Structure formats: structure tokens, C-alpha cells
Amino acid sequence: MGGVGYYPPGGSQFLPYPGYFDDLQLTMTLGQAALIVFIIFAIVAILFMLVMLCLYCASFRGSSNDAAGITPRSVNPAKAPYVNAQGTGQR
């Protein structure tokens, strides 16, 4: 008699231990429940991102700026603030 396992008396069916199939069924049920929770979480996250995208896009609908709401800004080097190595604005 070698190996690990449980052989019921008079039977030829191998069982790793008593209650193995109950534990296996519980594991599968818990796995299915975790998968369902993950799917629900993923759907909620996707819906949240879509709503935030719609709100972001709707906030720029009434503005007179370009579609993204960002206008390029050019900096005139003559009027740009000057900061030297000491952190002061003196040239």
C-alpha cells in the first residue's frame, strides 16, 4: 500500500480523501461566484469610464475654443520671464 489516498472498503473507486467531491464542488462554486463578481466590476468600471468621457466631451461643447478645448499658446522670448541660476529675475 503506497501512495496517498483513501480507498473505500470493498470499492475500486479512488478518493483522495473523504469529502473530496464536496470540496471540489465548493471550489467550483466559489470560482464561478468570483468570476461573476469580476464581470460585474468590469462592467461598472467600463460604464464609469464612458460616463466620464461623455461628461468631459460635453463640457467643451458650449465653449468657443477648438474641439479639444485647448488653444496653443506661443511664448514671446522677449517678454518671457527670466530666471537666473540664483532664482532671481535680474539679468
Mean pLDDT of the chain: 76
Give 51's pLDDT tier (boundaries 50, 70, 90).
very high
CB count within 10 Å of CB 15 equals 13
Domain ranges of the chain: 21-60
- Claim: this prediction has a pTM higher than 0.85: no
CA distance 42 to 73: 39
- Between the CA of residue 9 and those of 5, 13, 27, 59, what are the distances in Å? 13, 10, 27, 75
C-alpha cell, 59:
463640457
